[in-house]
């Protein structure tokens, strides 16, 4: 094998320049394939990270007995609906347990223009954590104080163009379009939350007394007795949908989970959010692996295009190979020259693909956060990327063996003439 000196690389560069048209097309294909491969992988990883950090710091979520994934979906992601509520008495007993540090009840069932309404206590904004235990923060205003105050998630406020002090009417039920509106009891926007990239952004938050107030006089989805309510003390709920628990000691989590699951007064289920999030992600892993496979196939097709380009050029380079042989170049020199051309085109394509992807992420990160709740990091230069580079260069080297061996054999043929 020849030594890797500047003259050797210069010869490879000049050889590529002589076929710049086909080389540029191949380079573009590699740039696109690297862009897609690394882009899919980065989005997959960051989506998974965002998904797993939807809720943090909550040790247990308790609801009526159902599947743990179903409980997670309606309590955290606000998807689906609970089959049954748990009584207010049970909530009080849970919050008074010696191992419980805090308990936050939530009640679901209403909506506003397709966005879910969550009734809870001000402690929700104090104890709810996401990502690396980041607390909820207000962009403007404050938590609800009056019965008819409402706090809006970032997406709700942005999409529906609400400001502090605006009034809105909630709808009975979860449909995006509802004819059962609580028109007699409008709410006033008291607070706007900062974007979190979680389902919190797509929710409206009212007090538990507020939820009770708007349903007084309602039977089977019809308001038969409109009543004005202002006394929050008289609006204690009879039941809630779920309860989030934070424990004094993490070691008590499994013991308390067992106690709650064996509770005799009601059929309850206590689930660990982190464990259930991991289980839910495994269910969606088929799509994840499918995207990775598609990205790999795109990379493979671009490498095959590079091989095809070099194979076509080998037939045109018989005279070039003969001249190099006359000048003393060995068959291994010719073999290495072809491989170096493959590696150069692939490496340049990889670098340009990464730079293009980093630029795209930088430009799209605010839009991705606002529209999809996805945190995109433009920092793509890491140890993991070196691993990808090694994998891609190894794949390119293997793909380049075909034209390199053909050139080697052709060089041997020249030697025999």
User: Could you please report the per-residue DSSP string of 369-400?
Assistant: HHHH---------SHHHHHHHHHHHHHHHHHH
Judge whether residue 231 has pLDDT over 60.
Answer: no
Q: What percent of the chain has pLDDT over 90?
A: 34
Q: State the Cα–Cα distance between residues 390 and 288, nearest whole angstrom.
A: 23
Q: What is the pTM of this model?
A: 0.73
Judge whether residue 327 has pLDDT over 50.
Answer: yes
* Residue scoring higher pLDDT (245 or 375): 245
Residue 269 DSSP label:
E
User: What's the whole-number mean pLDDT along residues 32-61?
Assistant: 84
* Residue scoring higher pLDDT (203 or 413): 203
Judge whether residue 382 has pLDDT over 80.
Answer: no
Give me the pLDDT at residue 232, please. 43
For the stretch 146-200, pLDDT in tens is: 999 999 999 999 999 999 999 999 987 665 555 577 787 899 999 999 988 889 9
Nearest CA-CA partner of 77 in 180, 188, 153: 153
Q: How many helices (H) and strands (E) does the chain have?
A: 13, 17
**Cβ neighbours around 386 below 10 Å, total:** 10
User: What's the whole-number mean pLDDT along residues 343-360?
Assistant: 88
* Residue scoring higher pLDDT (146 or 217): 146
User: Average per-residue pLDDT in the chain?
Assistant: 82
Map residue 99 onto helix, strand or coil.
coil
Exposure b/e, 136-165, CB count within 10 A at least 16 = b = beeeebebbeebbbbbbbbbbbebeebeee
Which of 6-20, 44-58, 299-313, 317-331 holds the top average pLDDT?
44-58
User: What's the whole-number mean pLDDT along residues 60-79?
Assistant: 91
β-pairing, 242-247 vs 60-64, is: antiparallel
pLDDT band at 239 (very low <50, low <70, confident <90, very high): very high
Judge whether residue 230 has pLDDT over 90.
Answer: no
User: What's the whole-number mean pLDDT along residues 271-289?
Assistant: 83
With contact defined as beta carbons under 8 Å apart, do 92 and 69 qualify?
no
Give me the pLDDT at residue 92, please. 94
For the stretch 3-16, pLDDT in tens is: 455 666 677 777 77
Give me the pLDDT at residue 128, please. 95
Judge whether residue 233 has pLDDT over 50.
Answer: no
Judge whether residue 24 has pLDDT over 80.
Answer: yes
Q: State the Cα–Cα distance between residues 267 and 212, nearest whole angstrom.
A: 24
pLDDT band at 86 (very low <50, low <70, confident <90, very high): very high
User: What's the whole-number mean pLDDT along residues 139-149?
Assistant: 93
């Amino acid at each position: 094998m020849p030594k890797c000196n500047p003259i050797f690389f210069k010869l490879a560069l000049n050889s590529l320049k002589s076929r710049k048209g086909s080389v540029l097309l191949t380079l573009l294909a590699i740039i696109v394939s690297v862009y897609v491969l690394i882009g899919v992988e980065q989005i997959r990883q960051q989506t998974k990270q965002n998904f797993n950090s939807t809720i943090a710091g909550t040790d247990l979520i308790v609801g009526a007995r159902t599947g743990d994934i179903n409980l997670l979906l309606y309590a955290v992601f606000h998807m689906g609906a609970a089959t049954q509520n748990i009584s207010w008495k049970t909530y009080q007993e849970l919050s008074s347990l010696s191992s419980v540090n805090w308990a936050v009840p939530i009640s679901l069932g209403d909506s506003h223009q397709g966005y879910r309404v969550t009734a809870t206590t001000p402690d929700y904004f104090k104890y709810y954590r996401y990502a690396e235990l980041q607390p909820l923060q207000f962009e403007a205003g404050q938590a609800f104080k009056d019965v008819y105050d409402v706090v809006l998630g970032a997406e709700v406020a942005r999409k529906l163009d609400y400001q502090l002090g605006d009034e809105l009417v909630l709808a009975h039920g979860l449909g995006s379009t509802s004819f059962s509106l609580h028109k007699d009891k409008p709410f006033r926007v008291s607070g706007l939350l900062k974007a979190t990239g979680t389902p919190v952004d797509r929710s409206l938050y009212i007090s538990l007394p507020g939820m009770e107030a708007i349903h007084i006089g309602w039977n089977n989805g019809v308001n038969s007795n409109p009543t004005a309510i202002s006394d929050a003390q008289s609006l204690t709920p009879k039941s809630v949908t779920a309860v989030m628990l934070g424990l004094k000691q993490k070691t008590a989590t499994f013991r308390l989970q067992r106690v709650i699951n064996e509770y005799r007064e009601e059929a309850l289920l206590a689930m660990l959010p982190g464990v259930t999030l991991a289980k839910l992600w495994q269910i969606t892993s088929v799509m994840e692996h499918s995207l990775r496979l598609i990205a790999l196939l795109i990379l493979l097709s671009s490498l095959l295009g590079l091989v095809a380009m070099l194979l076509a050029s080998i037939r045109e380079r018989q005279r070039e190979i003969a001249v190099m042989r006359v000048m003393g170049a060995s068959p291994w020199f010719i073999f290495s020259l072809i491989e170096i051309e493959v590696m150069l085109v692939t490496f340049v394509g990889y670098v340009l693909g990464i730079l293009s992807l980093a630029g795209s992420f930088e430009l799209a990160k605010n839009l991705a956060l606002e529209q999809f709740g996805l945190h995109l990091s433009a920092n793509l230069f890491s140890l993991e990327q070196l691993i990808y580079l090694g994998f891609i260069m190894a794949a390119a080297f293997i793909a380049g063996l075909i034209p390199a061996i053909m050139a080697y054999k052709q060089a041997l043929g020249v030697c025999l003439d």
